[in-house]
Every structure is written in C-alpha cells, then in structure tokens.
Chains A and B, each alone.
Chain A
Amino acid sequence: KQEVTQIPAALSVPEGENLVLNCSFTDSAIYNLQWFRQDPGKGLTSLLLIQSSQREQTSGRLNASLDKSSGRSTLYIAASQPGDSATYLCAVVTGANNLFFGTGTRLTVIP
C-alpha cells in the first residue's frame, strides 16, 4: 500500500527566506503528484500538479520537483511571506484517481 510521508511536520521561518518542503512516497508507480495548501478549518487548494513524466512544475514563487524513481518530491517556496503560513500537503495518485495524502507540513512565516 502506498504511504506518503512529509518532513518536517512543522516549520517556522522568518519572512523573506527561501524554504523547501519534502514529500516521500513508497510506491513509485504513480500517475501524478499534487501539492495542496490548507488554511485552518478550510478546504484544500490545489497548488501544483506534476505528471509522472514531468520533473518539475512552477507557479509564481512555487516550484515543485518530482523524482519518481527515488519516491521524492519537494516544494520550494521563494521569498516566503506571512500569507504563505498554512499546512502544505502532498498527495500521489496511483490509479482510478485514488489519492494518498501525506499528513502535511505546518508552515509559519514570521513577519
């Protein structure tokens, strides 16, 4: 069974720093990997989707990479802002739109 792990569980950084969030998965047979953002008590917002054939995707200050063979993905956030504070979740799709989620990294950007 696919297992998704996110490290660290929580991260605090001062405003303006660049940071990297990590996601690892046990079964490399995936269709795609998605990164989501969740604000407290809210639903999830899709940030980036990387297809299994791709190595990275970029959106604004966000860059996600995928190394399928090693079962790893990273989410790079440049020039962090207090508004980036949220929980970030990664999820892998293994088939029939079956997503396996990590438990998330809670990010706090300190002004």
Chain B
Amino acid sequence: SQTIHQWPATLVQPVGSPLSLECTVEGTSNPNLYWYRQAAGRGLQLLFYSVGIGQISSEVPQNLSASRPQDRQFILSSKKLLLSDSGFYLCAWSGKMNEKLFFGSGTQLSVL
C-alpha cells in the first residue's frame, strides 16, 4: 500500500533562516506531487506541483522553492524565511489520471 511521509511535524524558525521540508512517498512510482499551504482560517493554497523528476510548476510567486531530486521525494525550501511564511504545510500525492489526492500529516511552521 502507498504511504506518504512528511517531516518535521512542527518547526520554529527565526526570520531570515533557511528552510527545508521533506516529503517522500512509498508504494507507488511516478506520482504527481504537491505542496500546499494552509494559513489560519483560510483554505489550502497550492504552492508547487510536480509531474516528474526535475519538473516543478509554481502556482504563486513567493519566497519558497521546490525540488524533486528523486521520483518519490519532494522538497520545499527557502533561503530566507519571512514572517508571512508561517503556516501549515501539506505534501500530497496522486496518480496520473485525476485520482484521489493523499496528504501527509503536515508541518506546522512558525517563523518568529
């Protein structure tokens, strides 16, 4: 069966520090991968999605970047965090044919 792992679960970082959140999927190959952000009281915002290794699409201009160095690994990064980067970050995967979306357990990021 397929599983998705996302870590860390919580993270407190000072403004200006770098960020690296990692997400890995097991039990499937060539998945579509996604990073979402959920701000308090707001809906989920798609940040990045990837349909294959090295293929990254960005949905909104921002202080973040994403990379997919391996088929089942998706990384969210920042060189210098801003206060506005605080939020709940969710990684997700799906198959190729508009199938169900499966989410990781999320990372609560607080930038202070």
Contacts and interface: CB of A to CB of B under 8 A. Distances in A.
What's the dominant secondary structure at chain A's contact region?
strand
Given A49-B100, A96-B51, 12 more contacts: A36-B101, A41-B88, A91-B101, A97-B34, A97-B51, A98-B49, A98-B59, A99-B44, A99-B46, A101-B44, A103-B41, A103-B43
A46 B102 CA distance: 7
Interface residues of B, number: 25
Contact of A98 (B41, B46, B90, B108): B46
Contact of B100 (A46, A96, A98, A101): A46
Interface in B61-109: 88, 90, 92, 94, 98-106, 108
Interface in B34-64: 34, 41-44, 46, 49, 51, 59
A34 interface: yes
19 contacts: A32-B98, A34-B101, A41-B88, A41-B106, A42-B105, A43-B104, A44-B44, A44-B90, A46-B103, A89-B43, A91-B44, A97-B32, A97-B94, A97-B101, A99-B34, A99-B101, A101-B44, A103-B41, A103-B43
Nearest to B9: A41
Given A41-B108, A97-B32, A97-B94, A46 B101 contact: yes
Interface of B: 6, 32, 34, 41-44, 46, 49, 51, 59, 88, 90, 92, 94, 98-106, 108
A102 B92 CA distance: 17
B102 to A, nearest CB: 6
Contacts of B43: 4, 89, 101-104
A76 interface: no
B98 A97 contact: yes
Interface in A4-48: 4, 31-32, 34, 36, 41-46
Nearest to B10: A41
